[in-house]
Amino acid sequence: MLSGPASAVSHTDARAAEARARSHRRRAREVHSVGGMSKYLEEKPALLGFHMPAEWEPHQQCWMGWPERLDNWREGAFPAQSTFVKVATEISKFEPVTMCVSSAQYMKAYDWLHVNGNIRVVEMSMNDAWFRDIGPTFVRCDRKPSLGDQECEVAGIDWKFNCWGGPEDGCYSDWSLDVLVAKKVNGTFLILELDRLPRFSHRMVLEGGSIHVDGEGTCITTEECLLNTNRNPDMTKEEIEQELMMYLGVSKIIWLPRGLYGEMSREDGGDGGTGAPVGGRRKKREGGKSRSDDDTNGHVDNMCCFVKPGMVLLAWTDDELDPQYERSVEAFSVLSNTTDAKDRKIEIIKLHVPGPLYITKEEADGLVTLDESAKPRLAGTRLAASYVNFYIANGGVIAPAFGDEKWDQQAYHVLTSAFPNHEVVMIQGAREICLGGGNIHCITQQQPATP
């Protein structure tokens, strides 16, 4: 039996906890509508019981955007659109898909996709089609917090988006439509399904491709991206960690030094094909720890991802002359010498990268210059190609194939072994997505199912 003083302390703690809970509920109710579409929450998600589920947990649907930028997608975007249709079609065999399309392209996309009863086409304007980065990060609450007049289980985080680097380093000069996508997704959910999906807004610049979680308290990211001065120069590493914990509901952040290697120029001397650089020689190694040369400054979703709690896939190469080798080795070292949020050692599965692959002259010539400040796609540029950049659907794994028979086949076997309860589908022609600067995980965003 408790003594008097201890009992008093217990009652005091209980009253304090209840007061904090009332404060959280009160602030959660202090919301306003954004364009009359979505409910905005002022409290931090973790304090209301929200967390970001692992990607292999059940989904309600998958969100995608439609590619149409002529300066990023070659030949009038037709090859990319064809590949996006393949991706959407395969995902729709496992879960519903919502494809967001501009008014100018709506009928074209509708004609291609409406025959599939599990794909919904909605009108939404974007500057480009990278839904992982411009769409909301969905979080779920398993204990149904009190949010005024409704019980909410799923909400979206609306991060600040600056086009992967802002005015100096971003991929194009105008991203004014992209910054509205996360808000519109919540609004679309309201309009079409007569429900409200609340929105947490955040001032921190962050793209969905820069984080991976295991659903049990662990997040993996890269220093190269989140600590880059073109993202959040006024925030320290510790401050960024705290925000990730408060918004994703995690307790452990694993920082990999860098993401996947990929060039922005032709200094590596590519012949523009899928293999040998000019003169049959390659630079030995990238050297140093400069920022990533891919569009994203080293997004983790092209480098490493969770298979399940305590197990990851890591982009790998055995070629010590490849600049990717140093990056993979240093990531392997970090992962081998840390534990996750549950204090488990991490099992690492190596997933060899293809190629190396390069943009061909024909591919580069198929682009139209629309924005002089947009990142150019030059012949001979090495592509940031990785099999880690896949999407986990309800019972399926949708992964890229690059036309590199040896490594495509090996990737299929590695993924099949890693996901024994999922059907692995390799998307032939995924190179078209890679030419635009990303891959399958980059163009998709899962919305978790309610508990």
CB atoms within 10 A of CB 122: 17
DSSP symbol at 57: S
Paired sense of beta strands 311-316 and 304-308, if any: antiparallel
- Provide the token pair at 407: 């490594």
CB contact set of 121 (below 8 Å; sequence gap of 6+): 98, 99, 101, 106, 109, 110, 113, 114
Paired sense of beta strands 218-222 and 212-213, if any: antiparallel
Choosing from 163, 305, 434, 442, the catalytic residue is: 442
Distance between CA atoms of residues 374 and 295, nearest Å: 11
- 117, with CB counted inside 10 A (0-12, 13-18, 19+), is exposed
Our answer to whether residue 305 is catalytic in this structure is: no
CB contact set of 23 (below 8 Å; sequence gap of 6+): none
DSSP code string of 217-238: SEEEEEHHHHT-TTT-TTS-HH
The one-letter code for the residue type at 55 is: E
Q: Just list the catalytic residues.
A: 442
